[in-house]
């Protein structure tokens, strides 16, 4: 009878059901059954990820008129914070996306996983562009229009011209065929990729702001209106990176 460590080692390399597992199923040791149950759960998770990945690929492909049509996904990060830019990204993925299995809405993925995926997306992409819309533009235009203009710029700066543009819940004034997709980052692989690039780029920017303004802890809340962030603004006052048209920054500046 194999030891639990031997079973654990064999299961760690198994990616499908194998004949020796029949004997493991009959093993009455609690530890053996726990190891097998953990392996089965992992396989179910992998299968679910693969199925969701394939569904996203099919969704994007459904908009193509020909097999050669390029589909760009567009998304943003940072519409809601009190400080920092809104960041948008446009991405055209290559046909082979196997290494991107597990790619999903950036809010559903850990920071470590987002950073890993961002590098894979950049290597995979036929073309991508990340655009930063400044706080000044946000205050001048309003957050909706500033985001819209940023997304448009991201699309226009792509090295390759896409035939179809899929945007997460936004209509863009571009010449290409565009579709506004509600909850697009959960349906489209290209939009999910754009979501990851926008989120990781913005987080990196806010980490850099933290180095300049450590008392505001931008690396912790990324500029969002947390209780701690608002307390720091009340104590030290808003910086040049705070959005002056957003509450409570607007009211604090009036005092």
Range 45-51 average pLDDT: 90
What lies within 8 Å, CB to CB, of 117 at 6+ separation is 100, 102, 103, 109, 196
Given a cut of 80, whether residue 76 has pLDDT beyond it is yes
Residues of CATH 3.30.420.10 domain(s) within the chain?
71-202
- Rounded distance, CA 168 to CA 32, Å? 46
Range 184-211 average pLDDT: 97
Residue 8 backbone dihedrals phi, psi, to 5 degrees: -60, -40
- Rounded distance, CA 225 to CA 153, Å? 27
71-202: CATH architecture: 2-Layer Sandwich (3.30)
Given a cut of 80, whether residue 101 has pLDDT beyond it is yes
Region of poorest pLDDT, from 104-113, 123-132, 214-223: 104-113
Biggest CA pair distance of the chain: 76
| The pLDDT of residue 120 | 97
Tokens of 156: 């226009």
SS3 state of residue 9: helix
SS3 state of residue 81: coil
The string of pLDDT tens digits covering residues 178-190 is 999 999 999 999 9
Residue 207: closest CA among 196, 217, 195, 197 = 217
- Rounded distance, CA 51 to CA 188, Å? 13
- Rounded distance, CA 32 to CA 105, Å? 36
| The pLDDT of residue 45 | 87
Tokens of 248: 């409570």
- Helix, strand, coil share (%) of the chain residues, nearest 5: 55, 15, 30
Given a cut of 90, whether residue 79 has pLDDT beyond it is yes
Q: State pTM to two decimals.
A: 0.91
Looking at residue 3, what DSSP letter applies? -
Could you give the angle at the alpha carbon of 128 between the alpha carbons of 125 and 130, nearest 5°?
A: 145
What lies within 8 Å, CB to CB, of 130 at 6+ separation is 87, 88, 89, 154, 197, 198, 201
| The pLDDT of residue 78 | 97
């Amino acid at each position: 009878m194999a030891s639990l460590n031997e079973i654990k080692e064999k299961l760690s390399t198994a990616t499908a059901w194998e004949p020796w597992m029949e004997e493991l199923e009959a093993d009455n040791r609690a530890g053996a059954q726990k190891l097998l149950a953990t392996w089965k759960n992992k396989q179910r998770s992998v299968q679910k990820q693969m199925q969701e990945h394939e569904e996203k690929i099919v969704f994007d492909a459904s908009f193509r008129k020909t097999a050669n049509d390029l589909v760009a996904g567009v998304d943003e990060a940072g519409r809601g914070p009190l400080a920092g830019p809104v960041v948008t990204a446009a991405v055209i993925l290559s046909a082979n996306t196997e290494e991107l299995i597990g790619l999903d809405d950036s809010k559903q993925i850990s920071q470590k996983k987002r950073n890993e995926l961002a590098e894979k997306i950049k290597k995979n992409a036929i073309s991508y562009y990340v655009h930063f819309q400044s706080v000044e533009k946000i205050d001048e235009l309003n957050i909706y229009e500033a985001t819209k203009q940023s997304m448009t710029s991201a699309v226009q700066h792509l090295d390759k011209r896409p035939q179809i543009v899929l945007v997460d819940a936004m209509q863009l004034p571009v010449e290409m065929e565009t579709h506004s997709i509600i909850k697009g980052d959960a349906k489209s692989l290209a939009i999910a990729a754009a979501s990851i690039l926008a989120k990781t780029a913005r987080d990196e920017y806010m980490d850099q702001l933290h180095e300049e303004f450590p008392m505001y802890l931008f690396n912790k809340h990324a500029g969002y209106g947390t209780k701690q962030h608002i307390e720091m603004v009340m104590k030290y006052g808003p910086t040049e990176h705070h959005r002056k048209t957003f509450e409570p920054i607007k009211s604090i500046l009036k005092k």
